[in-house]
Structure 1
Amino acid sequence: MSWKFPVSIFFSFLSSVALLLDSFIVCTGSHQPLSTRRHREMKLGLVIQTAVALYLLLSPAQSLPQSIINNTTEVLMFQEVWGRSFCRTIEKLVEVVQEYPTEVEHIYSPACVPLVRCAGCCGDENLECHPTNTTNVTMQLLKIRPSEPGQEYVEMTFVEHQTCE
């Protein structure tokens, strides 16, 4: 059940604050009333600040929907986490310029390609996951030359990992 603050009471309070401000806003030091325009500006500023403060204090806090809160997430057991973390092949997105660093004067679309690569952790910190068997895969990409008009389809070859250790 959510509590709602009545808007009519809120606006009534604001008008009361405005009346109080009329009687209290005076020039600093001289105790003379401010000019009408400056008085209105100060009053409006204080009314707005008061309104925002009250709104924040009196409005209910926002929260996540109940459907999200009630969903319980399943805990991945150690065996599964351990098995998933080992060195193995997995599809990764690789930037074309990472594989072809001399081709920086061209733009390729897509800029990244999906390649099967080795990833994961080894049981020893001194070991790294690396490929033991590789194969080549050729993909068609769009090659754009920013310095010249036009674009063309090109075939580019990338290395994919088949097995890792």
Structure 2
Amino acid sequence: LVQILLAAFFHLSTVKTASINKGVEKSKHGVVRLSEVITKSMCQPREVLVDIFQEYPGDTEHTFVPSCVVLNRCGGCCSDEALECVPMEASNVTLQVMRFRQMVTQHTIHLSFTEHQKCDCRLKPDVQVKKEYCTNLILSHFRSLMIATGRMQSAFSLFLEV
């Protein structure tokens, strides 16, 4: 029972929500200003809840308390659908969690997680491939056109010599 209560306490203590209204000044009509909305929604490191099992999928025989941890990860909006918010600089952080196997063992352990320090909007990988494909296609058509135009010019110059 103590373990269950402890697990519930740790789980609830890590719950955080992303809120545009947190620490924001509203106008006299209760509206969050555009500049504040843009600042809060831009691509940047932000606190997110990360499930420990997502980071350590191979450890399925244990239960972790808390089951998720708060980490800084890149998130937010970019100016174009072809862009995504990705980490440019990251570091490891070690967190202490409890790992136990039901009715068998219980240990406090250290787990390492990646946190993001800097983020930037970059082309999505599938968009990069499409961009390269389109560029190559355009170059191919351009070369064909140049060859055809060159042949036409050669034929035209031969015609003029006759």
Q: TM-score, normalised by structure 1?
A: 0.54
**Stretches (4+) displaced over 4 A:** none
Match of 2:60 among 104, 121, 127: 104
Q: Match for residue 117 of structure 2?
A: 162
User: Shift of the alpha carbon at 1:108?
Assistant: 0.4
Indicate whether 1:151 and 2:106 are aligned: yes
1:1-165 pair list within 5 angstroms: 74-146=30-102, 149-165=104-120
The sequence identity of aligned pairs, in percent, is: 43
Count of equivalent residues: 93
* Cα deviation code 1:52-83 (max 9, x no counterpart): xxxxxxxxxxxxxxxxxxxx862011121112
Larger Rg: 1
User: Shift of the alpha carbon at 1:145?
Assistant: 1.3
With over 3 angstroms needed to count, the CA separation of the structure-2 counterparts of 1:152 and 1:73, relative to structure 1, is farther
User: Shift of the alpha carbon at 1:88?
Assistant: 0.5
What letter matches 2:40 in structure 1? R
User: Shift of the alpha carbon at 1:105?
Assistant: 1.6
What letter matches 1:149 in structure 2? V
Name the SS of the counterpart of 2:83 in structure 1: coil
Q: Match for residue 20 of structure 1?
A: none
Runs of at least 5 residues in structure 1 that lack an aligned partner in the other structure: 1-71
Runs of at least 5 residues in structure 2 that lack an aligned partner in the other structure: 1-27, 121-162
Name the SS of the counterpart of 1:76 in structure 2: coil
User: Shift of the alpha carbon at 1:93?
Assistant: 1.2
* Cα deviation code 1:92-150 (max 9, x no counterpart): 1111001111112210000011101111010010111010000000011111113x612
Q: How much is the aligned-residue C-alpha RMSD, in angstroms?
A: 1.4
